């Protein structure tokens, strides 16, 4: 597994655990506590989705750059080979 993914996962889990502990230790009614947990869980889910989406977008951009580079190199090699055969 990628180190970046492990770091992001660890940060997210730590943030979730800290948030839940803070809410459970705060003086609020059960209904209010459940509402806060649900709201914070939704926020964290959205943050994780955004982080993963950004990471996937970056991977795709890098992949496409490499494919373009390899395609250009291959085209250049083919052109060179064609020129050498005409000699």
Model pTM score: 0.51
The 3-state DSSP composition of the chain as helix, strand, coil percent (nearest 5) reads 90, 0, 10
Q: What is the pLDDT of residues 34-80, one digit of tens each?
A: 888 888 889 888 988 888 888 899 999 999 999 999 999 999 989 88
Three-class HEC string of 57-86: HHHHHHHHHHHHHHHHHHHHHHHHHHHHHH
Domain housing 36: 3-86
Number of domains the chain contains = 1
- Give SS3 for 27: coil
């Amino acid at each position: 597994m990628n180190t970046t993914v492990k770091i992001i996962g660890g940060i997210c889990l730590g943030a979730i655990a800290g948030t839940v502990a803070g809410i459970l230790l705060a003086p609020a009614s059960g209904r209010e506590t459940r509402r806060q947990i649900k709201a914070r869980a939704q926020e964290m889910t959205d943050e994780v989705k955004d982080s993963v989406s950004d990471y996937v977008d970056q991977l795709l951009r890098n992949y496409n750059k490499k494919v373009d580079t390899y395609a250009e190199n291959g085209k250049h090699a083919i052109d060179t080979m064609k020129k050498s055969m005409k000699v």
